[in-house]
């Protein structure tokens, strides 16, 4: 039986999440970043934070679509990534001193990367999933930290680093999903979408895997302007 022609809305402004979906042959029909307060609640566990924010982002975007009469046959995919050492949640730094603090905490230690996934449709049924990856950094020298902070690559990243960039050279051990650390656990995201009725193979079958990044980038610039 053919799957319904559902349209996918990605509730994110992250180019990395878009690129990962495109890697799997999935092109979102729309990009709608969810600008919400991501402050953890008092004593909130990192796992709970990632799941809560993913769901709140999906619900926020679906409510916007519903208000415009555009929720029918739409699926919203939302994700939130949290990096923690024990139960200490590391921020997404915007200031260099916060980035330095994060790197000092991560140096020579194992940390956990949690991503909450939520797929939500017009029916209101939420498909929630949490993915966990354990990552160990080498012991970072003062020069490592200073040079990485100078690169600016850390800015706005969960935990203050991007594993797909320069910080990949800090990783000595990884257990779990690599794409989770990049920002979107790909296998799990595809499974969630398929379970919600989205035809994940549509562009595989019709040969429509030619990149259509330009249109999405233009739309992303428009909604984030």
DSSP string, 166-222: GGGGGEEEEES-HHHHHTS-HHHHHHHHHHTT--TTHHHHTT--S--HHHHHHHHHH
**DSSP per-residue codes, 60-112:** HHHHHHHHTT--TTEEEEEEEEEEEETTEEEP--SSHHHHHHHHHHHTTSEEE
Q: What are phi and psi of 99, to 5 degrees?
A: -65, -45
Q: Are 20 and 183 in contact (CB under 8 A)?
A: yes
Quick one: CA dihedral 124, 122, 209, 18, positive or negative?
Answer: negative
- Residue 9's Cβ-side half-sphere holds a number of Cα atoms within 13 Å equal to 24
Cα–Cα dist 161/163, whole Å:
6
207 torsion bin: left (phi>0), alpha (psi -120 to 50), beta (else): left
Q: List the catalytic residue out of 35, 80, 191, 206.
A: 80
- 191 belongs to the catalytic site: no
- Alpha-carbon distance of 28 to 54, in angstroms, equals 17
| Catalytic residue positions, numbered | 80
């Amino acid at each position: 039986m053919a799957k319904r022609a559902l349209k996918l809305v990605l509730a994110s402004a992250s180019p990395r999440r878009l690129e990962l979906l495109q890697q799997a042959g999935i092109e979102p029909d729309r990009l709608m970043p969810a600008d919400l307060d991501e402050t953890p609640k008092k004593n909130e566990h990192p796992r709970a934070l990632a799941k809560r924010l993913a769901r709140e982002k999906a619900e926020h975007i679906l409510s916007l679509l519903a208000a415009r009469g555009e929720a029918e046959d739409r699926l919203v995919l939302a994700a939130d990534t949290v990096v923690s050492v024990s139960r200490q949640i590391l921020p997404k730094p915007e200031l260099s001193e916060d980035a330095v603090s994060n790197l000092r905490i991560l140096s020579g230690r194992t940390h956990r990367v949690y991503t909450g996934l939520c797929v939500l449709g017009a029916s209101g049924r939420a498909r929630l999933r949490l993915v966990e990856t354990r990552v160990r950094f080498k012991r970072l020298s003062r020069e490592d930290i200073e040079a990485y902070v100078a690169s600016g690559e850390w800015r706005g990243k969960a935990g203050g680093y991007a594993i797909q960039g320069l910080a990949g050279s800090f990783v000595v051990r990884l257990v779990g999903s690599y794409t989770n650390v990049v920002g979107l656990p790909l296998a799990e995201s595809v499974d969630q979408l398929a379970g919600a009725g989205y035809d994940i193979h549509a562009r595989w079958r019709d040969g429509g895997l030619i990149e259509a990044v330009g249109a999405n980038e233009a739309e992303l610039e428009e909604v984030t302007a």
